[in-house]
Structure 1
Amino acid sequence: MGLLVSLQEIDREVLALRVLKDELPAKIAAVRDRLDQAEAEQAAARGALDQMGRDHRDREAKLEETKAHIGRLKNRTGEIKTNTAYFAHLKEIESAEKQRTAVEDEILGLMEKIEGAEKELSAHDAKVTEEIAGFEGRRRELEVEYAHVDGEVEEKTKAREKLAGSLDPVLLSRYEIIRVQMRGTAVVPARNATCAGCRMRLPPQLFNQVREGRSIIDCPHCHRILYWNPSA
Structure 2
Amino acid sequence: MATQKKTTEVDYSMQEKIIALYELQKIDSRIDEINKVKGELPLEVQDLDDELAGLRSRIEHINAEIDELNTLTKQRKREVDQAKILIANYKEQQNNVRNNREFDAISKEIEYQELEIELADKRLKEYAAGVKAKKAQLEEAEAVVEERTKDLEAKKAELESIEAETAAQVEDFARQADAAKARIDERLLAAYDRIRGNVRNGLAVVTVKRDACGGCFNRIPPQRQVDIRQGKKIIICEYCGRILVADPEAAEV
- Shift of the alpha carbon at 1:75? 1.2
The answer as to 2:142 corresponding to 1:128 is no
Q: Which structure dedicates a bigger proportion of its chain to helix?
A: 1
Identity among equivalent pairs (%): 18
1:33 match: 50
The answer as to 2:77 corresponding to 1:57 is no
Equivalent of 1:188 in 190, 198, 207: 207
1:202 match: 222
1:11 counterpart letter in structure 2: I
CA contact (8 A) 2:206 2:213 kept: no
1:74 match: 91
CA distance in structure 2 between the partners assigned to 1:72 and 1:202 by the alignment: 110
CA distance in structure 2 between the partners assigned to 1:104 and 1:153 by the alignment: 68
Task: After superposition, give the CA deviation of every residue in 1:20-48 in whole Å (9 maximum; x if it has no partner).
Answer: 68x97666443311111111111111111
Task: Give the unaligned 5+ runs of structure 1.
Answer: 1-5, 161-172, 207-215
Say which SS state the counterpart of residue 105 (structure 2) adopts.
Answer: helix
2:210 counterpart letter in structure 1: R
Task: After superposition, give the CA deviation of every residue in 1:115-136 in whole Å (9 maximum; x if it has no partner).
Answer: 1111111111112212221222
Matched length:
203
Q: For residues 86 and 181 of structure 1, do their structure 2 counterparts lie closer, same or farther at Cα, with a shift above 3 Å needed?
A: closer
CA distance in structure 1 between the partners assigned to 2:33 and 2:249 by the alignment: 28
CA contact (8 A) 2:83 2:117 kept: yes
- Counterparts of 1:141-180 in structure 2, within 5 Å, are 141-153=158-170
- Shift of the alpha carbon at 1:226? 3.8
Q: For residues 80 and 24 of structure 1, do their structure 2 counterparts lie closer, same or farther at Cα, with a shift above 3 Å needed?
A: same
CA distance in structure 1 between the partners assigned to 2:120 and 2:132 by the alignment: 18
CA contact (8 A) 2:55 2:145 kept: yes
Say which SS state the counterpart of residue 147 (structure 1) adopts.
Answer: helix
Task: After superposition, give the CA deviation of every residue in 1:125-184 in whole Å (9 maximum; x if it has no partner).
Answer: 1122122212222211211122233244357789x8xxxxxxxxxxxx9xx769969846
CA distance in structure 2 between the partners assigned to 1:78 and 1:59 by the alignment: 29
Q: Which has the larger radius of gyration?
A: 1
- Shift of the alpha carbon at 1:63? 0.8
CA distance in structure 2 between the partners assigned to 1:87 and 1:145 by the alignment: 85
CA root-mean-square deviation: 4.1
Equivalent of 2:109 in 56, 67, 92: 92
2:7 match: none
Equivalent of 1:16 in 12, 32, 35: 32
- Shift of the alpha carbon at 1:187? 6.2
2:124 match: 107
CA contact (8 A) 1:195 1:226 kept: no
Task: After superposition, give the CA deviation of every residue in 1:51-99 in whole Å (9 maximum; x if it has no partner).
Answer: 1111111111111111111111111111011111111111111111111
Say which SS state the counterpart of residue 80 (structure 1) adopts.
Answer: coil
